[in-house]
Amino acid sequence: MVEGRRHTLRDIAATLDLSVNTVSRALSGKDGIGARTRALVRAEAERVGYVPNTLARSLVLGSAMTFGLVITNPSNPFYAQLISGIELRARAHGYSLLLAVTDESEEIEARAAESLLRSSVSGAIVVPVQGKVDPWRRLGGVGVPTVLINRDLPDLGYPFVGTDNALGAYQATAHAIARGARSIVVLEEDLPITTIEDRIAGFRRAMAEADLPVPRGSVISVPTRRYEEAALPWQPEQAYRVARRLLRRPALPDAVVVGNDYFALGLYRALHEHGLKVPGDMMVIGFGDYPFSEFLSPSLTTVRLPAQEVGSTAVDLLLEQIESPDAEPRKQLIAPTLVTRESTGPAIPRSRIPLT
Amino acid sequence: MVEGRRHTLRDIAATLDLSVNTVSRALSGKDGIGARTRALVRAEAERVGYVPNTLARSLVLGSAMTFGLVITNPSNPFYAQLISGIELRARAHGYSLLLAVTDESEEIEARAAESLLRSSVSGAIVVPVQGKVDPWRRLGGVGVPTVLINRDLPDLGYPFVGTDNALGAYQATAHAIARGARSIVVLEEDLPITTIEDRIAGFRRAMAEADLPVPRGSVISVPTRRYEEAALPWQPEQAYRVARRLLRRPALPDAVVVGNDYFALGLYRALHEHGLKVPGDMMVIGFGDYPFSEFLSPSLTTVRLPAQEVGSTAVDLLLEQIESPDAEPRKQLIAPTLVTRESTGPAIPRSRIPLT
DNA sequence: GTGAAAGCGCTAACAG
DNA sequence: CTGTTAGCGCTTTCAC
């Protein structure tokens, strides 16, 4: 097919005895060129296996037809799906993806932002570590459209897509209540992000609407860790430990709403070890609907997050922002769906008298 | 910090009344420049928030300090970890990552290869769809070092890292045999890739060494699907269906070795529905040691694949190839580890007489 | 329709 | 030590 050096417009121009310019126009489909010439050029380009040099093109155009994608951790199934969704939609519009993994580190995040800047990306899609806004303000400041995913940085006023975490947690909690739970506990990661605040708010709202108390100790933090172990079952493990402590309490909750489905796994194990049955002794509601959750026993009731949709929406918002930079940045919350499975019913938790 | 347009070397040169060249050298740390001048330039660059333009730099250098990463499906936990591993190591060496997702499509793969070529990547790390070698031969042909991951394309003679699938399957099978299994079945994806051939070979070897027969129907194909559903629990679901059929056989195997831990999930469900106990009625051995596998009940005995290590090794091989293009391309198989858990013991399958 | 010239921002080669 | 010149491969004026 091809070997050796890459051919350039100039090569083609030389062999065809045309100007570089003509060849460029012929190939780029612009008009103002003879049909014959165009065919000729196309044929020659085909023959030598011409591959345009994006670098050169981008340099003159000032932008690289590339999106930066900054993600905290691909081993989180939500982000894995997100990557797929974004990649698909971006590629459909002709953009490549420059990927950076921050692992919740502000330092890595800052470097990633800088790197995107150097690379003249056409835009950035970011799951911010959420702590520093500077790196992203800077990026936006020099005119790189940026959309935030999952965790908003309201100060920036950038476009944003996320799932409605408050709603998700509300649904989860309300469902547990409807199934007879009166005392409910929440397990969340200990990250200082709006995601988690929102969920806790949703939980509280559901409890309040049902006139149920939320005593101290109803919201439990699960410590998390950094990248090196991200690959490992660190999250279930940590949740397991926290759950074991929880199960030593004198009064156990009827239901536990957890921050992600990995936590549900850890909780399952702790409950199993204590000989407690799900949902009979305790209901469990997950968050995320990871690929395995449907297949656990008992299968896990969980809040399904539309990761693909979040991803493709992010790309759409970015394209909007690129096409009309002065348009009002849109913020979009995508509603999650509660998926009801065995872990919340139909059994009635023991603290309630059977109703039927 | 900065606002408006990006500053260039020329801007700095102008305000400092120096030549562009001098500024370039001052900033790039080359020698042959006065300490005073250098400090001056550095200070000014800092002041205006100078960000080098990688595009321009890459154009003249002919390579973009970027690796192309081509992956079939990020929702596979193995690849998710792989991405992390590669990203980390690549970034440590100053390379960015251009990501492409092929979802096992030869067509997308071909486009991805083309795209990397246009982008003048310094190298490529590829999980090939395995069917066509052309796209990668072309890439290598024009001098882009390429390393293959997980699925080798021996015709190309490129560097390769993967896990020793034959060994993994051998270990899994031998373990089941050691635990008393005599009749063993394998469930694998129906992809035409060496990965799977190797595993089946490993399985056969273990069986042969134990003088156990491998009747027809011992290797079962699980149909798979494309990207759109990759995010969804498609693999457990398909394995579940296949497993249901398996369980209708007159004689059930003592153990099932599956191609990935998702399959084990599907199998678990089918067994559960049939009232069969793991490992008592049937042992299950997974492949991959996904983050959830340790936390299933029963916890899953599985072949752990060192995804991170495969990833970082891939980067190392690529760097080797970049530094010494004429060196013999290395092929490296990383040994997986069998992780023994509840799903294979200590109970004895019913077809065997208890030994102790 | 096509060509010539200029320039994107940077680095490399060679002067001075 | 520093400046000048040239050029990476492409697109965009602007002539002809």
Residue ranges of domains in chain B, CATH in brackets: 9-48 (no CATH), 66-162+308-334 (3.40.50.2300), 165-305 (3.40.50.2300)
Does any strand C atom come closer than 7 Å to the Cβ of B29?
no
Does any strand C atom come closer than 7 Å to the Cβ of A22?
yes
SS (H, E, C) chain B: CCCCCCCCHHHHHHHHCCCHHHHHHHHHCCCCCCHHHHHHHHHHHHHHCCCCCHHHHHHHHCCCCEEEEEECCCCCHHHHHHHHHHHHHHHHCCCEEEEEECCCCHHHHHHHHHHHHHCCCCEEEECCCCCCCHHHHHHHHCCCCEEEECCCCHHHCCCEEEECHHHHHHHHHHHHHHCCCCCEEEEEECCCCHHHHHHHHHHHHHHHHCCCCCCCCCEEEECCCCHHHCCCCHHHHHHHHHHHHHCCCCCCCCEEEECCHHHHHHHHHHHHHCCCCCCCCCEEEEEECCCCHHHCCCCCEEEECCHHHHHHHHHHHHHHHHHCCCCCCCEEEECCEEECCHHHCCCCCCCCCCCC
Cβ atoms of residues A83 and A98 within 8 Å: no
Poorest-confidence range of A2-16, A168-182, A260-274, B95-109?
A2-16
pLDDT digits (tens, 9 = 90+) for B258-303: 999 999 999 999 999 999 999 999 999 999 999 999 999 999 999 9
Measured CA to CA, the distance from residue A91 to residue A278 in angstroms comes to 44
Mean of the per-residue pLDDT values of chain B: 92
Q: Does A131 touch chain B (CB under 8 A)?
A: no
Question: Tokens 């495969």 label which residue?
Answer: B310
| Whether pLDDT at B238 is above 80 | yes
Compute the average pLDDT of residues B239-260: 96
Closest nucleotide to B22's CA, by C1' atom? Answer: D2
Poorest-confidence range of A266-280, A338-352, B260-274?
A338-352
Q: Does A72 touch chain B (CB under 8 A)?
A: no
Does any strand D atom come closer than 7 Å to the Cβ of A21?
yes
- Supply the pLDDT for residue A226: 56
Whole-model pTM over 0.85? yes
- Supply the pLDDT for residue B353: 43
Does any strand D atom come closer than 7 Å to the Cβ of B39?
no
- Supply the pLDDT for residue B2: 45
- Supply the pLDDT for residue B227: 46
The residues of B between 55 and 84 with beta carbon within 7 Å of nucleic strand D are 56, 59-60, 62
Q: Does B130 touch chain A (CB under 8 A)?
A: no
- Supply the pLDDT for residue B30: 83
Residue A319 tokens read as 């394209």
| Whether pLDDT at B166 is above 60 | yes
Q: Which residues pair with A147 in a beta bridge?
A: A125
- Supply the pLDDT for residue B352: 46
- Supply the pLDDT for residue B1: 44
Q: Does A56 touch chain B (CB under 8 A)?
A: yes
Out of B138, B233, B297, closest to residue A2 by CB: B138
| Whether pLDDT at A230 is above 70 | no
| Whether pLDDT at B40 is above 80 | yes
- Supply the pLDDT for residue B354: 43
pLDDT digits (tens, 9 = 90+) for A116-164: 999 999 999 999 998 889 999 999 999 999 999 999 999 999 999 999 9
- Supply the pLDDT for residue A191: 86
Q: Are strands A331-334 and A160-163 parallel, antiparallel or unpaired?
A: parallel
Compute the nearest-CA separation of A143 from chain B (Å). 7
| Whether pLDDT at A99 is above 60 | yes
Compute the average pLDDT of residues B215-219: 96
**Whole-number CA gyration radius for chain A:** 26
Q: Does A297 touch chain B (CB under 8 A)?
A: yes
| Whole-number percent of chain A with pLDDT over 70 | 94
Q: Which residues pair with B98 in a beta bridge?
A: A98, B68
Compute the average pLDDT of residues B233-245: 92
Out of A66, A75, A308, closest to residue B84 by CB: A75
Q: Classify residue A335 by its DSSP letter.
A: P
Q: Is B210 exposed, middle or buried (0-12, 13-18, 19+ CB in 10 A)?
A: middle
| Whether pLDDT at B351 is above 70 | no
| Whole-number percent of chain B with pLDDT over 90 | 85
Poorest-confidence range of A34-38, B132-136, B288-292?
A34-38
What is the pLDDT confidence band of residue A354, given thresholds at 50, 70 and 90? Answer: very low
Does any strand C atom come closer than 7 Å to the Cβ of B15?
no
- Supply the pLDDT for residue B29: 84
| Whether pLDDT at A349 is above 50 | no
| Whether pLDDT at B339 is above 90 | yes
Q: Does A84 touch chain B (CB under 8 A)?
A: yes
What is the pLDDT confidence band of residue B56, given thresholds at 50, 70 and 90? Answer: very high
Q: Does B8 touch chain A (CB under 8 A)?
A: no
- Supply the pLDDT for residue A3: 53
| Whether pLDDT at B355 is above 70 | no
- Return the residue in A8, A55, A103 with the most chain B beta carbons within 10 A, the one to mutate for interface testing: A55
Q: Classify residue A282 by its DSSP letter.
A: -
- Supply the pLDDT for residue A242: 96
Mean of the per-residue pLDDT values of chain A: 92
- Supply the pLDDT for residue B3: 53
Query: CA at B90, C1' at D6: how many angstroms apart?
Result: 33
What is the pLDDT confidence band of residue B336, given thresholds at 50, 70 and 90? Answer: very high
Q: How many CB pairs under 8 A join A and B?
A: 208
Does any strand D atom come closer than 7 Å to the Cβ of A10?
yes
Q: Which residue has the higher pLDDT, B352 or B31?
A: B31
Query: CA at A11, C1' at C3: how many angstroms apart?
Result: 16
**Among chain B residues, CA nearest to A261:** B292
What is the pLDDT confidence band of residue B225, given thresholds at 50, 70 and 90? Answer: low
